[in-house]
């Protein structure tokens, strides 16, 4: 058994899926992968997409694949791209094709529980991937290269040199088809493969190993950051210290952001948010947002179905010997209009017991170290004239009941 075959066998054994969908294009990489999976006896189905981008050549590819599938008695599913899609003249054609391809793969894979999708990326693809991300200024997340396994996608040949793949096909006397468009350097990947790498390899024979070494270092660095981030997330779940976040490298901060669905393009704006004024918000999605507090950022759930507190107002015949923070007693004869509750607004003032004059509600919150997030959920009890009570924090002295009062109103809050 060759190192290529045994290496693929080891990876598939480790995955232990119930079924393997192999993406095939008639090129040597995918043909070799399909034949090896077949020879190892794994349950499999071939998947092919016909984009019709090369006219009759695309149809010949499909017919060749159909013949190949019949020769090894393996089921094949073909997705024929609608002409309205393939005639799309705007956008990134390669990205559009990729989206179509993987959407088809995902739908087929979802039909069989515990199945996996195998694609034929190999070592040269990994190196080309490095250059493509370098030109796009992708950062470490892109430069580290592809992973052998990511989600439901597995690349079992990723660490193998293309010469090993060619040798396997020749030893097995297996034919394949060359895509004529690969010889044209009109796409960046083709330019890297056909011109850049051959040019660099002449003067720097070890360039491929150097790139693979760099990618490995980036992977190790990311693994270390992920381990540290795991420990960070165990200590902080909804409130994240600003000093720690500001100390993160761009790469680590980006990993933190990606947990919440952010993209790399948002890194700079997130850095600005970390140093914004208290109360600033950073939108995430339709359910959560980040809010800037004094020393941390808070993960806040949007109040899509608000739960209002229950306000109970009743008459009382006497005052209790001990008062609690959940009950207020006021003089009925001093109340103007109706008693109700609301939430605070800028400029609200209260006249606290034991304090001359009045005080801003915002200062009451500050003294109690109430976060900007929490203060928006504290009920303010009012009549038509004054604030009576900042629930749980401060009572207004002007309308509280005393033992001399004959008519007392008892106010309680639940929820």
Whole-number pLDDT of residue 116: 97
| Higher-scoring residue by pLDDT: 360, 310 | 360
CATH class of 310-414: alpha beta
Whole-number pLDDT of residue 265: 82
What distance in Å separates the CA atoms of residue 35 and residue 313, rounded to the nearest whole number?
Answer: 79
Whole-number pLDDT of residue 388: 94
Report, as an integer, the average pLDDT of 85-101: 70
Whole-number pLDDT of residue 87: 54
- The mean pLDDT of the chain is 89
Whole-number pLDDT of residue 373: 67
141: confidence class by pLDDT, cuts 50, 70, 90: confident
Q: Exposed, middle or buried: residue 105 (CB in 10 Å: 0-12, 13-18, 19+)?
A: buried
Whole-number pLDDT of residue 19: 97
Measured CA distances, 201 to 198, 208, 231 (Å):
5, 8, 43
409: confidence class by pLDDT, cuts 50, 70, 90: very high
91: confidence class by pLDDT, cuts 50, 70, 90: low
Q: Exposed, middle or buried: residue 408 (CB in 10 Å: 0-12, 13-18, 19+)?
A: buried
Read off the pLDDT of residues 212-271 as tens digits, 9 standing for 90 and up: 999 999 999 999 999 999 999 999 988 999 999 999 999 999 999 988 888 888 889 999
Q: What is the pTM of this model?
A: 0.67
| Contact predicate 290/300, CB 8 Å | yes
Read off the pLDDT of residues 18-29 as tens digits, 9 standing for 90 and up: 999 999 999 999
3-211 carries CATH number 3.30.830.10? no
Most confident of 80-89, 105-114, 285-294: 105-114
Report, as an integer, the average pLDDT of 385-414: 90
Domain boundaries, the chain: 3-211, 236-301, 310-414
415: confidence class by pLDDT, cuts 50, 70, 90: low
What distance in Å separates the CA atoms of residue 34 and residue 118, rounded to the nearest whole number?
Answer: 9
Report, as an integer, the average pLDDT of 372-398: 88
With 80 as the cut, is the pLDDT of residue 92 above it? no
98: confidence class by pLDDT, cuts 50, 70, 90: confident
With 70 as the cut, is the pLDDT of residue 307 above it? no
Whole-number pLDDT of residue 282: 87
Length of the chain: 415
Whole-number pLDDT of residue 52: 87
Q: Exposed, middle or buried: residue 389 (CB in 10 Å: 0-12, 13-18, 19+)?
A: buried
């Amino acid at each position: 058994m060759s190192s290529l075959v045994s290496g693929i066998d080891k990876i598939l054994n480790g995955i232990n899926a119930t079924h393997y969908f192999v993406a095939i294009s008639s090129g040597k990489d995918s043909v070799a992968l399909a034949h090896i999976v077949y020879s190892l006896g794994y349950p499999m189905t071939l998947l092919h997409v016909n984009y019709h981008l090369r006219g009759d050549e695309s149809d010949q590819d499909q017919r060749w694949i159909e013949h190949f599938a019949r020769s090894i008695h393996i089921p094949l599913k073909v997705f024929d791209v609608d002409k309205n899609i393939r005639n799309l003249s705007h956008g990134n054609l390669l990205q559009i094709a990729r989206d179509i391809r993987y959407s088809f793969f995902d739908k087929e894979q979802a039909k069989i529980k515990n199945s996996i999708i195998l694609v034929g990326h190999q070592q040269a693809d990994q190196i080309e991937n490095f250059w493509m991300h370098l030109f796009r200024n992708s950062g470490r997340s892109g430069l580290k290269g592809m992973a052998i396994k990511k989600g439901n996608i597995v690349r079992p040949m990723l660490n193998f040199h293309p010469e090993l793949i060619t040798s396997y096909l020749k030893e097995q006397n297996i034919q394949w088809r060359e895509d004529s468009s690969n010889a044209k350097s009109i796409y960046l990947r083709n330019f890297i493969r056909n011109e850049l790498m051959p040019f660099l390899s002449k003067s720097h024979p070890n360039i491929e190993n150097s790139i693979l070494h760099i990618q490995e270092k980036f992977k190790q660095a990311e693994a270390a950051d992920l381990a540290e981030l795991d420990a960070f997330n165990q200590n902080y779940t909804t409130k994240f210290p600003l000093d720690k976040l500001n100390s993160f490298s761009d790469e680590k901060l980006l990993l933190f952001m990606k947990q919440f669905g952010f993209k790399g393009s948002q890194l700079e704006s997130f850095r600005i948010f970390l140093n914004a004024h208290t109360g600033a918000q950073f939108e995430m999605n339709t359910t959560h947002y980040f809010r800037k507090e004094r020393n941390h950022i808070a993960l806040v759930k949007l109040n899509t179905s608000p739960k209002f507190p229950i306000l109970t107002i009743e008459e009382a015949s006497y005052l209790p010997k001990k008062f609690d923070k959940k009950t207020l007693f006021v003089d009925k004869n001093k109340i103007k209009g109706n008693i109700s509750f609301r939430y605070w607004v800028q400029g609200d003032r209260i006249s606290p017991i034991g304090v001359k004059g009045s005080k801003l509600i915002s200062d009451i919150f500050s003294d109690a170290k109430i976060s900007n997030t929490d203060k928006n959920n504290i009920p303010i009890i009012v009549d038509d004239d004054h604030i009576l009570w900042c629930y749980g924090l401060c009572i207004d002295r002007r309308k509280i009941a005393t033992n001399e009062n004959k008519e007392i109103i008892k106010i309680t809050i639940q929820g």
